[in-house]
């Protein structure tokens, strides 16, 4: 199956597809960011990688069977007017739509932030769905937490799948997410049943499972006040692993002068908050053999997303630490993509 990847970033979709049961070949990928392109090239080569998708005519893109995209979402200036294709001009989703319109791949898989479904009281999302329906696609959508795929991170994202000319036989009851359940019942669209039957069977990991052994000064939260604070306080740490975020304590501002979010310290026996595309990442408490606090390393952030050591090490030799943090936070979680693609295969065979 031939695949086109838009807004490819470092290749999270590509990794997820590669680790699935789908026999696939990437025939086209597009990414504008030079640092993300460098990380993509070191793992996948540059043969089919192109730049700014807004500068590429849709007629020049190779034919493909599956389109994947983690498109950035700007607000739609006239979203909610329900004019479909015309409502999305000037947004990056328009780039996805124009290529779907021209190339008519049989399938697509899109990923975006959780709040896509609630922007402008759901009208932005309804415009996206109407556009996809108008292009001939039957769709399903849901919000999936990467935690479901066994990853030690709380990361909710919106996923949309589509089949060209698929049967309209949707269920309006959404089993995974109440917000999506209400949204599906609030408007008419052509849909099919996909996400309700999607299951994950990955073993659950926790922060402790992805840690490097490091006391590198660049990661330590370490000054005289912090050392005194740790000496004076004994924190009750339950070492039984739980698949939820476990905040142990907040560093007082007079101990570590930073924003509230950056003074939160988490247990390694739980999961991480959503990692962001920035270097001021989550802080963890290490209690043995000595007590100290440090932030997660770039490699740990990539592992929270489900990337493997070989892939991560290639990137670490290619771009700066700041870019590594950014790229990890912007990426899709490959194990989620793998499960979706494996689930999609039966629909592909039926079609």
Q: Are residues 47 and 153 in the same domain?
A: yes
Q: What is the pTM of this model?
A: 0.94
What's the CATH number where 94 sits? Answer: 3.40.50.150
128 and 268 fall within a common domain: no
- Are 214 and 269 in a shared domain? yes
List phi, psi (to 5°) of 108.
Answer: -145, 160
Domains identified in the chain, total number: 2
Q: Are residues 37 and 159 both part of a single domain? A: yes
For residues 31 and 155, state if they share a domain: yes
Residue 234 catalytic?
no
Residues 187, 60: one domain? yes
Identify whether residues 85 and 162 lie together within a single domain.
Answer: yes
pLDDT at 87: 55
Structural domain containing residue 85? 2-198+332-350
Same domain, 299 and 273: yes
Could you list the mean pLDDT of each consecutive 10-residue stretch along the chain, which spans 351 residues?
A: 97 98 98 97 97 95 97 56 53 92 98 87 88 96 97 96 94 86 93 95 97 93 93 86 96 92 95 93 91 96 98 98 97 98 91 73
Could you tell me if 92 and 152 lie in one domain? yes
Catalytic, out of 42, 53, 68, 73: 73
Torsion of CA 68, 72, 78, 81, to 10 degrees: 30
Kindly tell me the number of DSSP H helices and DSSP E strands found in the chain: 10, 11
Residue 155 and residue 11 share a domain: yes
Both 266 and 172 in one domain: the answer is no
Pair 251, 229: CB distance under 8 Å: yes
So what's the pLDDT on residue 74?
59
Indicate which CATH number applies to the domain containing 212: 3.90.120.10
- Report pLDDT for 90: 59
Q: Where are the alpha helices (DSSP H) in the chain?
A: 12-18, 34-44, 93-103, 123-134, 178-184, 224-232, 298-305, 309-316, 321-330, 334-350
Asked if 4 contacts 99 with a C-beta cutoff of 8 angstroms, the reply is: yes
Would you state the pLDDT for residue 78? 40
Residues 141 and 284 in one domain: no
Instruction: Give the pLDDT confidence score for residue 30 in this predicted structure.
Output: 98
End-to-end alpha carbon distance in the chain: 13
Contacts of 230 (CB under 8 A, 6+ apart): 291, 292, 293
DSSP string, 128-174: HHHHHHHTTEEEEEEEEEGGGGT-SB--EEEEEEEEET------S--
Check if the beta carbon of residue 17 is closer than 8 Å to that of residue 3: yes
């Amino acid at each position: 199956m031939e695949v086109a990847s838009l807004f490819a970033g470092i290749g999270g979709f590509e990794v997820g597809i590669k680790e699935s049961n789908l026999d696939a070949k990437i025939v086209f990928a597009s990414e504008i960011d030079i640092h993300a392109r460098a990380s993509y090239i070191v793992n996948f080569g540059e043969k089919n990688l192109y730049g700014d998708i807004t500068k590429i005519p849709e007629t020049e893109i190779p034919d493909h069977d599956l389109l994947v995209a983690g498109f950035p979402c700007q607000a739609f200036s006239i979203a909610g007017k329900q004019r479909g294709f015309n409502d999305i001009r000037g947004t990056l989703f328009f780039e996805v739509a124009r290529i779907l319109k021209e190339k008519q791949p049989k399938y697509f898989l899109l990923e975006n932030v959780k709040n896509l479904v609630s922007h402008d009281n759901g009208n932005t999302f309804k415009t996206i769905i109407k556009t996809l329906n108008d292009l001939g696609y039957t769709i399903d959508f849901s919000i999936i937490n990467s935690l479901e795929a066994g990853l030690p991170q709380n990361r909710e994202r919106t996923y949309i799948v589509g089949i060209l000319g698929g049967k309209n036989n949707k269920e309006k009851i959404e089993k995974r997410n109440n917000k999506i359940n209400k949204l599906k019942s609030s408007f008419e669209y052509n849909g099919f049943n996909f996400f309700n039957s999607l299951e994950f069977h990955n073993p659950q990991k926790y922060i402790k499972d992805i840690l490097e052994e490091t006391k590198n000064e660049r990661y330590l939260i370490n000054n005289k006040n912090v050392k005194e604070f740790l000496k004076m306080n004994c924190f009750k740490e339950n070492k039984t692993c739980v698949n939820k975020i476990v905040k142990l304590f907040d560093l007082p501002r007079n101990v570590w002068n930073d924003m509230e979010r950056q003074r939160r310290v988490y247990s390694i026996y739980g999961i991480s908050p959503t990692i962001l595309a920035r270097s001021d990442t989550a802080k963890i408490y290490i209690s043995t053999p000595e007590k100290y606090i440090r932030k997660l390393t770039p490699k740990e952030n990539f592992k929270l997303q489900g990337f493997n050591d070989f892939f991560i090490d290639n990137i670490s030799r290619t771009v700066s630490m700041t870019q590594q943090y950014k790229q990890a936070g912007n990426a899709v979680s490959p194990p989620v993509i793998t499960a979706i693609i494996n689930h999609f295969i039966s629909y592909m065979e039926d079609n």
